[in-house]
Structure 1
Amino acid sequence: MNTQYHFPISSSTAANCTVKTISDEVVGSIKDIMLDTETGEIAYVVLAVDTGFLNLGNKLLALPWGAFDFHSHQRGVILVKINKEKLENAPGFDKDDWPIGPQHQFINDVHTYYGFDRRRALIE
């Protein structure tokens, strides 16, 4: 059955999906969606990498929203549009050591690493 999610999608629905590469390899799941409290936009998505994927352990990765394809043809699957090598070398963090403090540089670094422009709403 096709699960093409039509926008909007709830964060709980996204968190209950399996994240796979476009090569159909299970990567993990969406752990959380971080919001920019100044702009109201999604700052990044936290991807919990499964232990067996690329021997990354239980690493958490921050990825731009645009790195995901929610229109998978598999039920309960969201695709990550990033290749294995990029994910393997991605900056990540441990479940007990999330980024804290001012995060503008961290968010910009995440978007730059994956090659995505960071859209910023105008703050008035």
Structure 2
Amino acid sequence: MANSPHFLSASTLTGDKVTNPKGESLGDLKDIMIDTETGSIAYGVLSFGGVLGLGEKLFAVPWEALRVDGDRKELILNVDKERLKDAPGFDKDNWPNFADTTFVNRVRKYYIQ
């Protein structure tokens, strides 16, 4: 099993590469969304596609769907690259309401099975 540090700063993870278990690149971690009521990380915001930020698609991935690989300094998301292309996403100028239960349920159903 890969080395998974128990504590890391958010800035350490932001910008890290995200891959799947096959080693395919799924983008990078753009941001981390914290549930301010519980103090826990709710989502990792994954950036996929586009060139120099143009045309990129953002995805809210439930934090429990991601695994930190400390040895390779990347995050692992167990989803096929083709499936990610069809995932519910958003653009950088139109973020979803992360408190909306319809959004939460749709995203959780997509990534957590």
State the TM-score bracket (shorter-chain normalisation).
Answer: 0.7 to 0.9
Give 1:13's aligned amino acid.
T
Could you tell me which residue of structure 2 aligns to residue 112 of structure 1? Answer: 109
Contact map agreement 1:45 1:63 (CA 8 A) in 2: yes
Give 1:12's aligned amino acid.
S
TM-score, with normalisation over the residues of structure 2?
Answer: 0.80
Contact map agreement 2:65 2:112 (CA 8 A) in 1: no
RMSD of aligned Cα (Å): 2.2
Unaligned runs of 5+ in 1: 117-124
Identity %: 40
Could you tell me which residue of structure 1 aligns to residue 57 of structure 2? Answer: 59
Could you tell me which residue of structure 2 aligns to residue 95 of structure 1? Answer: 92
1:48 maps onto 2:58 in alignment: no
SS in 1 for 2:33: strand
User: Which structure has the greater CA radius of gyration?
Assistant: 1
Q: Which runs of 4+ in 1 moved over 3 A?
A: none
Mapped to 2, the partners of 1:107 and 1:36 lie a distance apart of: 12
SS in 1 for 2:13: helix
Could you tell me which residue of structure 1 aligns to residue 24 of structure 2? Answer: 25
Paired residues, what number? 109
Give the drift of 1:4.
2.5
Change (3 A) 1:6 1:101: closer
Could you tell me which residue of structure 2 aligns to residue 82 of structure 1? Answer: 79
Could you tell me which residue of structure 2 aligns to residue 69 of structure 1? Answer: 67
Give a deviation string over 1:18-73, Cα, whole Å, max 9, x none.
11122222221111111122222222110011327xxxx40000111122121254
